[in-house]
């Protein structure tokens, strides 16, 4: 598995750029993905999405539907895509340290 060095961390990543394991996630990873995704500024709102994704993943072992994400954060669908231009399944899951969702994504 390829690795990336970032701020003194060594992260192992798969070919889609997702972290090898949720266990290895830390806050520096978020900064790394922010660069990769071309997001200018991380806001409280990004962090809220990350928290919800991680909480849901710990309980269910899968990424939530965007509907659930919207309900738990209070953001409309459009706003979630503004925060994460590559979408909840790619950008947001990647940042939160979840594996790449399976399916046609």
Partner 1 sequence: MATTEPKANDEPIVLDDAIIEGAEKLSEEDIAQVINDMIRTEGGARFKAYLNTCMSCGYCSGACHYYLSRDKEPRLAPAAKVKQTLGEFVRKKGRVSRETLMRSCEIAFTDCNLCRRCMMYCPFGIDVAFLMLFVRRVCHKLGVVPRYIQDTAHSHSATMNQMWVQEDEWIDTLQWQEDEARDEIPDLRIPLEKEGADVYYSVIGPEPKFRAQLIYQAAVLMHAAGIDWTMTEFPGWDNSDMCMYTGDIEMTARLKKVHFESALRLRSKRIVMGECGHAFRSVYDVGNRFLGWKMPPIEVVHAVAFYDELLAEGRLKIARKFERPVTFHDPCNIVRGQGLHEKARSVVRQSCETFIEMEPNREHNFCCCAGGGVINCGPPYKNKRVKSNRVKAEQLMAAREKGAEVVIAPCHNCHGGLEDIIHHYKIDIEIKFLIDILFECMEK
List active site positions.
104
70 counts as binding partner 1 under rule CB under 8 A: yes
Contact 94, 32 (CB under 8 A): no
Q: Distance between CA 84 and CA 55 in Å, rounded?
A: 18
3-state secondary structure of 102: coil
Length of the chain: 105
Residue 82 touches partner 1, criterion: CB under 8 A = no
Closest approach of Cβ 1 to partner 1, in Å? 8
- The answer to whether 18 contacts partner 1 (rule: CB under 8 A) is yes
CB–CB of 85/8 below 8 Å?
A: no
Q: How far is the CB of 67 from partner 1 (least distance, A)?
A: 4
Task: List residues near partner 1 by CB under 8 A.
Answer: 2-6, 14-16, 18, 32, 62, 65-68, 70, 76-78, 81, 87-89, 100-105
């Amino acid at each position: 598995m390829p690795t990336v060095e970032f701020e003194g961390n060594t992260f192992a990543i798969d070919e889609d750029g997702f972290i090898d394991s949720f266990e290895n996630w830390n806050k520096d990873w978020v900064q790394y993905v922010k660069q990769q995704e071309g997001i200018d500024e991380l806001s409280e709102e990004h962090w809220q999405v990350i928290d919800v994704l991680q909480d849901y993943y710990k309980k269910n072992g899968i990424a939530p539907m965007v509907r659930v994400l919207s309900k738990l954060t209070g953001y409309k669908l459009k706003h979630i895509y503004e925060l994460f231009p590559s979408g909840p399944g790619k950008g947001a899951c990647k940042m939160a340290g979840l594996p790449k969702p399976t399916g046609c994504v």
